[in-house]
Each structure stands twice: as structure tokens, then as C-alpha cells.
Amino acid sequence: MPALEMAQETGKLIAWRKKEGDSVIKGEPLFEVETDKTVVEVEALASGILAGITSYEGAIVPVGVTIAWIVAPGERPPATPTTPAASARATTAQSRPPTAAAPASEQSSTQAVQISPKARRLARERGVDLNKVRGTGPDGTITGDDVLAAVQLQTTFAKSDAPVPARTGALSSVARLMAERTTQSWTTVPHFFLARDVDAGALIEARKKSAPEVEKDRGVSPSLSDFLVALTAKVLEKHPIMNSSWTGDAVRLNPEVNVSLAIAVGDGVVAAVIPRANVVSLGEISALRASLAERALAGRLHPSDVAGGTFTISNLGMYKVDSFTAIVTPPQAATLAVGAITDRVVPIDGKPDIRPMMTLTLSTDHRVADGARAALFLNDLVEAIREPPKWLR
């Protein structure tokens, strides 16, 4: 079990991409692990044959414990697992989800049959009772195909006039993790919220002027989110308290400004990190943001892509949302929620005018910063959006 984060002690095994006896090529996806931030794909560190798997879906395994071996063709994994591997098996037994509320006799019969990780996942997602599935794999192992065949059989023989039972869709790993983390944050972090409207005319103009140069240099057109990342990072330099973290009993000032950008993926959200956003160029931010978004949508983010964020930006402007409040991502101090840019009638020098306006809502952890400090940060951010060239020189 690899260490994917600095303070990580355990990892939750979500799925194997290969099964026992499969050939493995160095660098190809091997299994998925859930961290405190997201679900990441772990690549094989060597080529060979996957053997001696000791941990399965749902296992919470200590970092450094052996969960499988990659051996040479014809080679066998150690016959007697080491003490850490035995510990992993014990953890697996405790964390592996039970098979519904089946009688003890049925549970024992299910445990006696070999079940592939994919079959367990499909059975859980499709509501299939594994006690009623006949395995066609080696030594009677129940495979994913066996579960899908059972689903098809149930569908074929279902009566058209039968009442449709209420069903609950299974959450994906990312959606479930997001639900857990947001619940934890909302119930433990003392939030407060500040909102400001800002004229985005200068921001739009700055994007138009810089787009040709950035696109020529980096092959990607800068988005308004890229500008917001760059400007927010510059303002965070001036207000380090808003770039700090709550450690449980103290406030830690972070040495780097690493801006997390919320990205919608399937039925969840991941926060990909733009490291050192205060010192890299706008073009570098645009190129990295485009790469992160592409990998996030493909489910191929690396652990380093989601680690080390010190401040989060969530932009729902592209969804035509005028304004919203976001939940703070612990241990970060704050999250900025960005609404859509819309034409509004506003007073300019005492006269009504139509301007492209945008609403910013800052969510802050009150343990880290008070209202006055958060307000000063938001005031400077508004000024930066009004004069982007001044802050991005």
C-alpha cells in the first residue's frame, strides 16, 4: 500500500484493475486507492504476473503493507505471508462489506466460494445475491460475467406487470468520498460567509488581450478561471492568513500558494491543484489547468494532482449560477465561490449603466480568520479583478 499523501497512515483499496494471474506491464493502472481527497489510480512499479493478492475491495490497509506481488513468469509469491500481510488480511476481513443481511448459513456458503473483486463490486452495484450465482471461473470462482449474466436472467424473467420497487443508486467512489468530506466539513468547521459584487469588464478585456499570445505559446486559450487563479494567488501573498491551515489546535501559515480548482467529474467533484500559482505565469496556469481537467474527466488524476492545496476556487459561472456558498475544504482556511458574469444595471458616477457583473462569495473557517481579515482579503481581490494588469505584472 503506497503512501499517497504526507500524513497518510492507511489507504482504502477501491478496486483492482487486474486479477490474480494477469500479466502486468510497468506503468499501467493496477489498482485504485481512496485518500482523504479523492480516488487515485496506482500504476504498476514493475512488469510480471500479479500474484498473492491479500487485500480486496473495501480493505483499509496500513501504508507499507504488502497487498500483492508482481512475480516473474513461473515464479511463486512467498508461501507464508509476512506479518504485515497478515495484518492486511485481518484489516480486509474487518472492512470488507458483508453480504446484505443473509443468514449465517448463507454467509458461510458465500465465503467458501472464490469471488473476484469485480464480481463483488458489480453484485453490490446491481443488487445481486452472490449466494444465488453459479461461478464459471477456475475452481468455481464467481466472475464479473457471472454477475452480469445473473442480472440479465433477472431482467428476462421479470413480469411486466410487477410493481417496480424503490431503488437507491449506488454512489461512485468519488461521489461517496465527496459526501463524506463535505459532511465532515459542514459539521465540524465554523463557517462564515462574505459576498461582493464586482465589475468583470476589465477581467474580460484582459482575457481578450492575452488569449492570442497564451494560445500561441501554450496551445490553450486562457479561461476566466485561469485569471481568477492567478489573481487570487497574488492577493493571497498579501494576506497569508487566508492561505493558512487549521492544525487542530493552531494555525499554520503555508509556505506556498497552491490553489485548488474544483472540477466536476461524472457524479462528483475533485479539486485539482495549481501549485505555486502566485509565481508561475498565466500561460503555465492555463496549460496545467487544461491538462488537469482532461485527466480528471478521464479518471486519471495522479496523487500529486490533488495534494497540497492551500485555497480552493469553485466556479459555477459556466452553469449560469448567479451566486452560491461553498463548503470549506479542511484544513484550508477558505473557499471562493464564483458566480456567472451577467449584465446588470449599476450606478456609474451617479447614472445608471449596464455592466458585466459577477458575485464572489468567500467561505471562511472562523477558527483561522475573523470577519475583518476575510473582508480585507476580499476587498483586495475585488480590486485585482478590476485592474488585472496591475496585479499580474
Indicate if 370 belongs to the active site. Answer: yes
Name the active-site residue from 129, 267, 353, 370: 370
* Cβ contact 45:19 at 8 Å: no
* Three-state secondary structure readout of 162-212: CCCCCCCCCCCHHHHHHHHHHHHHHHHCCEEEEEEEEECHHHHHHHHHHHH
Partnered with residue 245 across adjacent β-strands are 252, 332
Question: Going by C-beta distance under 8 Å and a sequence separation of 6 or more, which residues neighbour residue 212?
Answer: none
What torsion do the CA atoms of 366, 369, 370, 372 make, to the nearest 10 degrees?
-150
What torsion do the CA atoms of 221, 174, 313, 371 make, to the nearest 10 degrees?
180
Name the active-site residue from 145, 217, 322, 366: 366
Indicate if 249 belongs to the active site. Answer: no
Give the integer Cα–Cα distance in Å for 330 and 230: 22
Question: Going by C-beta distance under 8 Å and a sequence separation of 6 or more, which residues neighbour residue 365?
Answer: 189, 190, 191, 246, 328, 330, 332, 333, 334
Place of cell 477558527: 367
Partnered with residue 337 across adjacent β-strands are 314, 361
Just list the catalytic residues: 366, 370
